[in-house]
Structure 1
Amino acid sequence: MRLFEQIRLGTGWFRDSLKTVRLQPLSFTAVVIAYAGIMGLLGLIPIVGIVFAGFFWPFGTIMIAGAGRDTLSGKIPSTRPLAESFAKPDTRLRLVRAGILYSIVLVTAAAIWQFLGADEIAQWQITKDDRVVWSSALQHIPYGAIIASTAFYIPCMMAMWFTPLLIYLKNMTIGKALFYSFTGCLTNLAAVITALFLAFFTFSVMIGCASVLLGVMGAGSIAIFVLLPVTLLGTAIFYGTYYPMWRSVFSEVSHSDTAPDYEMPTRV
């Protein structure tokens, strides 16, 4: 019975995500684009890009949650929560520390992937314009690297998933936030998997249907103009699950005794 309740809960988060995108298809998607764009640009910086992206992640997470809350509250979402997340020095410092931890997770996961998958990846064929020949990649899939890096990344991500909001809204220490985030994800794991699976499945169906339609119409020349907005909407649906998760799992978690009166309706 517990499993069915979890599946129903996750389905509810997914429905709220669809509602978020339906209410503000342009504004909410624009916030998601801003988040993904900044993360992507930072990640392109040579050598230290992944570290800078990790630093930004907790602040961007607050922005995504704020956009979801505003949309479901009948307001127009914006990037304002991103600026507000930098406002309080003590909170800002803890968020930066969370970003450092996230950077360490990303770097370590990448190192595990590269170390364990080096032999298989070395056999991938690369074209003259530095493109991977996918047929060769499929013949040399680094299964060990995939399993090991995933086994490391997922538990770490469970601990990091809600940490930015627990720090920002509940005024928790970073250690306490990591613990609450991990246990929150663990006790609602089936619901989280359900919501993310439904979002990913919907995203895949949207891309698949658009591709088939373009093929039937023989409109390959305009594919980018069709697939790009479909991809952005699908990505927005995926990120739209985040605030409903937070609201459901942590709305009843008390602030610490010394916490300022941060409330979701006014801060995020």
Structure 2
Amino acid sequence: MKLNIVPARTGFLWVKLGARTFFRQPLGMAGLFFMFMATVSVLSIVPFVGTLVALALVPAATLGLMAATREAEQGRFPMPSTLVSAFRGGPSKTRSMLILGAMYAAGLMLVLGVSALFATDVPPVDMPGGEVTPERMREMLSSQGLWVALILYVPLLMAFWHAPALVYWHGVTPFKSLFFSVMACWANKGAMLLYTLGWMVVIMIAGVLMNLLAALLGGTALLNLLIYPMVLLLAAMFHTSIWFTVRDSFVTEDKPGV
């Protein structure tokens, strides 16, 4: 296995491949993502411990969605068992994935802890009905703690972007996988940047279409009804595209096993 440098324009291709593969098996890919979100919701009911467990499962769920994407890419329906692929590779791989999950949970908690030190006590803007308004958006974006969290989360995201696939399919140790993942993201920073911009454009287009549809048919009530399922569908589509960023960032003679 070695690092593969791709042209910057490949970032847009990853977005296209993710969307196209999602629509090959929309029920399967969306269903698996919803299953993971439902699991997270149930675990989060348990204070603190449940949240930590949910965070620790993120790398395993990411690996499961990558495996599902490979199934969908080949025209096969991804079964629910695909979501737990990370725990079906034997004790050694299961242990490595659990270690990786614990590292992710610890890293994210550290990011949130540091960002909390920069949070300011700004009185909330009282908006009836909990609607998203320009005032509320300006208040949120003016939070120093939010920007600190975003800045700190970027290197954490880079470290764990490729890590689940490297650990499970290529036998890399959890600690080394973080280093290789950061190197791969940095080496292909042009493609990763266009990949990010591409998804931002997709999200903005979806938002414009939802607003137009709401204005034509039902106003704010319809928009509030559509926004949550649309966000989940876009998130599922985004996670479908992650596999292609991993596949093209490394060259290996052996095809990774399921």
**TM superposition score normalised by structure 1:** 0.82
Aligned to 1:107: 109
1:55 is aligned with what amino acid?
Answer: A
Aligned to 2:97: 95
Does the CA contact (< 8 Å) of 1:200 and 1:238 recur in 2? Answer: no
Q: Deviations over 1:205-258 (max 9, x none)?
A: 1132122211122355444554444333322221121011111112x1467xxx
For structure 1, which segment, 24-33 or 180-189, has the greater mean C-alpha deviation from structure 2 after superposition?
A: 24-33
1:1-268 alignment runs, 5 A limit: 6-87=7-88, 88-117=90-119, 119=120, 121-125=121-125, 135=135, 138-139=138-139, 141-218=141-218, 220-223=220-223, 226-250=226-250, 252-253=251-252, 263-264=255-256, 266-267=257-258
In 2 relative to 1, CA 112–225 (structure 1 residues): closer, same or farther, beyond 3 Å?
same
Kindly tell me the number of residue pairs found equivalent between the two proteins: 252
For structure 1, which segment, 220-229 or 75-84, has the greater mean C-alpha deviation from structure 2 after superposition?
A: 220-229
Question: Hey, what's the Cα distance between the residues in 1 that align with 2:130 and 2:14?
Answer: 41
Q: Deviations over 1:50-92 (max 9, x none)?
A: 3112221121011110111111111112232333321311111
Unaligned stretches of 5+ in structure 2?
1-5
Question: Hey, what's the Cα distance between the residues in 2 that align with 1:215 and 1:181?
Answer: 44
In 2 relative to 1, CA 69–103 (structure 1 residues): closer, same or farther, beyond 3 Å?
same
- Aligned CA RMSD, in angstroms, stands at 2.8
Does the CA contact (< 8 Å) of 2:40 and 2:54 recur in 1? Answer: yes
1:216 is aligned with what amino acid?
Answer: L
Question: Hey, what's the Cα distance between the residues in 2 that align with 1:217 and 1:21?
Answer: 27
Question: Hey, what's the Cα distance between the residues in 2 that align with 1:243 and 1:234?
Answer: 16
Q: Percent identity?
A: 20
Q: What secondary structure, in the 3-state scheme, does the structure 2 residue paired with 1:7 have?
A: coil
In 2 relative to 1, CA 131–108 (structure 1 residues): closer, same or farther, beyond 3 Å?
farther
**TM superposition score normalised by structure 2:** 0.85
Does the CA contact (< 8 Å) of 1:86 and 1:92 recur in 2? Answer: yes
Does the CA contact (< 8 Å) of 1:207 and 1:230 recur in 2? Answer: no
Q: Which has the higher contact order (CA 8 A, sep 6+)?
A: 2
Does the CA contact (< 8 Å) of 1:51 and 1:103 recur in 2? Answer: yes
Unaligned stretches of 5+ in structure 1?
256-262
